[in-house]
Amino acid sequence: MPSVPFFNYPALFAAQEAGFQAIFSDVGRRGAFIKQKDLEDFETSLASFLGVRHALGVGNATDGLEVALLAAGVEEGGEVILSSHTMLATAAAVHSAGARPVPVECGADHLIDPAAVEAAVSARTRAILPTQLNGRTCDMDALRRIAGHHGLLIVEDAAQALGSRYKGQCAGSFGASAAISFYPAKVLGCFGDGGAVVTNDTRVHEHASELCNFGRNAAGDVVRWGFNSRLDNLHAAILHFQLRSYGQAVCRRRRIATLYGEGLNEVAEVVPPPAPDSDPNHFDIFQNYEIEAERRDDLKQYLKDRGIGTLIQWNGEAIHHLTVLGFTQHLPYTDWLFTRMLMLPMNLSLSDDDVHYVCANVRSFYGYPQ
């Protein structure tokens, strides 16, 4: 029986092992571990790739979101509106920044619903924190209109969306600041934790750098309370190496998405994500391939029995489901989606045959002829 794991870390390493080994040796021999030139170079390349002024390497995107919020000026006690279909990290960063996360409904595209954002704005709202989920960027025109109308900041959770674009503009460049993740399973992943804060605002960048460096400014003087959150120099070197072939990686993911779309086209019980070229406003990088499926749990088991790994995002828990953290919202559309959503394997180790095998099994589960 073929095996199509949801993710294959060893295969990803093996695919570029010689390149990685050369970096380990080079960085090791130089003893260049913290805040060295590799980090600076990567930050410069990342900023230019995204078309933003500044990128700051941080320890992970959760730290990055907290820093992005604080540096953008989200104040203690303010409310921050986010999609309930996001990682706990998004809400946790708001909480750590001293503000209150307000989860709202997502729409049919699984991204934050602008109408729900508008309805959730209160006198205490300070920011909208859209998650550019699954490698797709939200309707930023609508969100910017709402933010402009109510005087709110936009801070993006672009953890899943490096290189994703809306109307030609990269995720992470729309608001006051944004965070990107380099967690190993992300499209640009390192070998542990890593992240970046990106911004066009030089003061936000300075403030963020100070927060991540014990409150010290560029001259080394302590100017505020801070903490320690850094992207390791070794990781920066590895990420920089991978950034060079990032375009090809995204291209392959979009090709896999096209193959899935074709293979699942006739299955009425499945709603696939939008195909790569279906909407000229969106350029998606397919961090995930998240479908909606009838009898989702049975389908998941059926695929598992045939060697196919799938995943339900966030362990099946939306933010507002976490009543242990004090959430009291009722979000029926999100509840319904969370009974239907399933992520099919989406990674660079997949062959075309693997994708065909997954599609054939989804079709046979629903009784379509092969």
Ligand X SMILES: *Cc1c(COP(=O)(O)O)cnc(C)c1O
Q: How far is the CB of 90 from ligand X (least distance, A)?
A: 5
User: Is residue 90 at the binding interface for ligand X, with CB under 6 A as the rule?
Assistant: yes
Binding region for ligand X (CB under 6 A) out of 54-62, 77-85, 262-270, 332-340: 54-62
Q: How far is the CB of 178 from ligand X (least distance, A)?
A: 11
- Give the amino acid at 95: H
Label residue 136 exposed, middle or buried (CB < 10 Å: 0-12, 13-18, 19+).
buried
* Interface map 137-176 toward ligand X (x if CB under 6 A): --------------------x-xx----------------
Q: How far is the CB of 10 from ligand X (least distance, A)?
A: 20
Q: Which is nearer to ligand X, 249 or 360 (CB)?
A: 249
Q: Which is nearer to ligand X, 5 or 192 (CB)?
A: 192
Q: How far is the CB of 89 from ligand X (least distance, A)?
A: 4
Q: Which is nearer to ligand X, 86 or 213 (CB)?
A: 86
CA distances from residue 364 to 2, 8, 344 in whole angstroms, order as listed? 16, 25, 16
Half-sphere exposure of 234 (CA within 13 A, CB side): 16
Token digits of residue 210:
């100070």
User: Is residue 66 at the binding interface for ligand X, with CB under 6 A as the rule?
Assistant: no
User: Is residue 288 at the binding interface for ligand X, with CB under 6 A as the rule?
Assistant: no
Q: How far is the CB of 288 from ligand X (least distance, A)?
A: 9
User: Is residue 181 at the binding interface for ligand X, with CB under 6 A as the rule?
Assistant: yes
**What contacts 139, CB < 8 A, 6 or more positions away?**
111, 114, 166
- Out of 8, 60, 84, 347, name the contact with ligand X by CB under 6 A: 60
User: Is residue 89 at the binding interface for ligand X, with CB under 6 A as the rule?
Assistant: yes
Give CA–CA dist 204/64, Å, rounded. 12
User: Is residue 354 at the binding interface for ligand X, with CB under 6 A as the rule?
Assistant: no
User: Is residue 229 at the binding interface for ligand X, with CB under 6 A as the rule?
Assistant: no
Q: How far is the CB of 151 from ligand X (least distance, A)?
A: 25
Token digits of residue 218:
């560029």
User: Is residue 210 at the binding interface for ligand X, with CB under 6 A as the rule?
Assistant: no
- What is the arrangement of strands in the sheet containing 195-199, beginning at the earlier edge strand? 54-58, 195-199, 177-181, 153-157, 125-129, 79-83, 100-104
Give CA–CA dist 10/191, Å, rounded. 11
Q: Which is nearer to ligand X, 331 or 362 (CB)?
A: 331
Binding region for ligand X (CB under 6 A) out of 56-64, 165-173, 277-285, 290-298: 56-64
Q: Which is nearer to ligand X, 199 or 287 (CB)?
A: 287
Secondary element (H or E) of residue 116: helix 114-120
- Out of 172, 189, 195, 226, name the contact with ligand X by CB under 6 A: 195
Q: Using a CB cutoff of 8 Å and minimum separation of 24, what contacts does 208-216 make? A: 208/56, 208/67, 208/68, 208/70, 208/71, 208/177, 209/56, 211/67, 211/70, 211/71, 212/56, 212/58, 212/59, 212/63, 212/67
- Out of 42, 166, 183, 260, name the contact with ligand X by CB under 6 A: 183
Q: How far is the CB of 6 from ligand X (least distance, A)?
A: 15
Give CA–CA dist 139/230, Å, rounded. 31
Place of tokens 């062959």: 351
Place of tokens 């990674």: 347
DSSP conformational letter for 112: B
User: Is residue 86 at the binding interface for ligand X, with CB under 6 A as the rule?
Assistant: yes
Residues contributing to the site for ligand X (CB under 6 A): 60-62, 86-87, 89-90, 131, 157, 159-160, 181, 183, 193, 195
